[in-house]
Structure 1
């Protein structure tokens, strides 16, 4: 209630947690949080500054999964779309009928991408998954921490190159390069993909020669990182090592944004193609999904269209 909320004052909320350890010991924990009230009408900037994209994505994911358990998953996907549209209408900066002017505040700019990946995730799509797998994935999502939930929704893609430290790459087909090794952490699965050049050097045995220690290092570093993740995570993820263009690389391609769409004769999306250096390094991704660029462009169009 706007009348009883005292804006710009500090408030305190406490959470009491009780649980029992395997040895029978009971634990009682009290967590105290200090926060300030804010309303969109009186202190909009402070309200935006307090937005946590990961926490919001985790909360909406749990609410959406709860709805998907009781209703059709397609209806749950529409709920996600309506949430994104309402948030963009309230917090976005734009001029009506001008989609190019639409812009979200910096704390909220990652949120649409997280929802894009949630819509494409195994939690919302039942195809190619058994009912047992779907139930397990959704159970894990609803009981994990925010950080682990974000890894499930928006996997972490690391790129290992020659004589440079690993760096995080966007979940996009353009991140595939022939002279790099990719490590994709999907929480339930770890995928290591060798680029075409790296795979060729490995087959030639260059990593076994003294003069090519940098090739050996780029092959060993992703494995060492994967082993570290395996030692800290339960349940232990499945590890898959593959080469670019092999049949098993489809598990990595399924998680990437199809940013380059090939149009068929009737104007429909026929597939996704990305060229790295030449025809031999061509990555082909057949997908019916729209790219994030198309998804965001459609969002901008809806938000900036005057409501009747």
Structure 2
């Protein structure tokens, strides 16, 4: 649709061209591969609250099948654009997990030209901008701060992202940094979230199933076994 255009694609791919790029080359795709597409809104026409005509986006994936034949797979998506001042509609369509991974990839991409400290400050500004628009609070009363469930996890993902090995490169070799970042740029949303915020699971003799617990020293108890999944490593504490 003419209402928006693709600004860039971030992932394990190479762009075909320099300007107005609409085609990217990918060496290979598996079930965990993902690409992050960023769009610019070109035109925003006013609509009534009950009328949001959809815009359309189409992906054409050309690949060679294992039998040697060349194939093309077409995926068409229809989405409605919310008005910029309609915070309720924007909040309803907000995917905080996907947004966290999109921000992480964009931050890693910015590290190619900017200092990591500047990128961290940019993340802080974006977080402040988001919560100032969608959070509820009373001035000079920190305890009154509230975020709806659509945004409740986003700040903690940003908390761990700014402290992660993707942006904190002290005591890490260039090879290590590139390795970590390259995996973040190609893995699925679920795997990327584990890289950003490791999963800590608690095992006890009273339960057959693990229980997710906080990444905090209070989770270390004498009668439990903890398993930390960072995607890159598995750590067991007992």
Report the counterpart of residue 33 of structure 1 in structure 2.
77
Q: 1:65 aligns with which of 90, 101, 108?
A: 108
Offset at 1:79?
Answer: 0.8
- Pair 1:179–1:38, CA change in 2 (3 A): same
Distance 2:222 2:69 in 1: 54
Q: 2:169 aligns with which of 126, 142, 148?
A: 126
| C-alpha contact 1:158 1:168 (8 A) present in aligned 2 | yes
- Pair 1:24–1:72, CA change in 2 (3 A): farther
- Pair 1:15–1:83, CA change in 2 (3 A): same
Uncovered stretches (5+) of structure 2, i.e. residues with no partner: 1-42
Match of 1:143, SS?
A: coil
Q: How big is each residue's C-alpha offset from its partner over 1:137-196, in whole Å with a ceiling of 9 and x where there is no partner?
A: 1111111111111111011111100121211112222111111111111111111111xx
Report the counterpart of residue 94 of structure 1 in structure 2.
137
Report the counterpart of residue 150 of structure 1 in structure 2.
193
Q: Which runs of 4+ in 1 moved over 6 A?
A: none
| C-alpha contact 1:5 1:37 (8 A) present in aligned 2 | no
Match of 2:59, SS?
A: strand
Report the counterpart of residue 111 of structure 1 in structure 2.
154
Q: How big is each residue's C-alpha offset from its partner over 1:62-109, in whole Å with a ceiling of 9 and x where there is no partner?
A: 110011122111011001101100001111112223222221121101
| Aligned residue pairs, count | 193
- Pair 1:2–1:57, CA change in 2 (3 A): same
Q: 2:56 aligns with which of 12, 18, 40?
A: 12
Matching of residues 135-214 of structure 1 within 5 Å: 135-164=178-207, 165-194=209-238
Distance 1:89 1:96 in 2: 11
| C-alpha contact 1:84 1:112 (8 A) present in aligned 2 | yes
RMSD across aligned C-alpha pairs, in angstroms?
1.9
Match of 1:13, SS?
A: strand
Q: How big is each residue's C-alpha offset from its partner over 1:216-252, in whole Å with a ceiling of 9 and x where there is no partner?
A: xxxxxxxxxxxxxxxxxxxxxxxxxxxxxxxxxxxxx
Distance 1:181 1:128 in 2: 30
Offset at 1:23?
Answer: 6.3
Report the counterpart of residue 230 of structure 1 in structure 2.
none
Q: How big is each residue's C-alpha offset from its partner over 1:17-73, in whole Å with a ceiling of 9 and x where there is no partner?
A: 2234566544422222232221243x4322201110111001000110011122111
Q: 1:75 aligns with which of 107, 113, 118?
A: 118
Provide TM-score, normalisation by structure 2: 0.75
Provide TM-score, normalisation by structure 1: 0.59
Offset at 1:114?
Answer: 0.2
- Pair 1:106–1:12, CA change in 2 (3 A): same
Q: Of Structure 1 and Structure 2, which has the larger fraction of its residues in strand?
A: 2
Uncovered stretches (5+) of structure 1, i.e. residues with no partner: 195-308
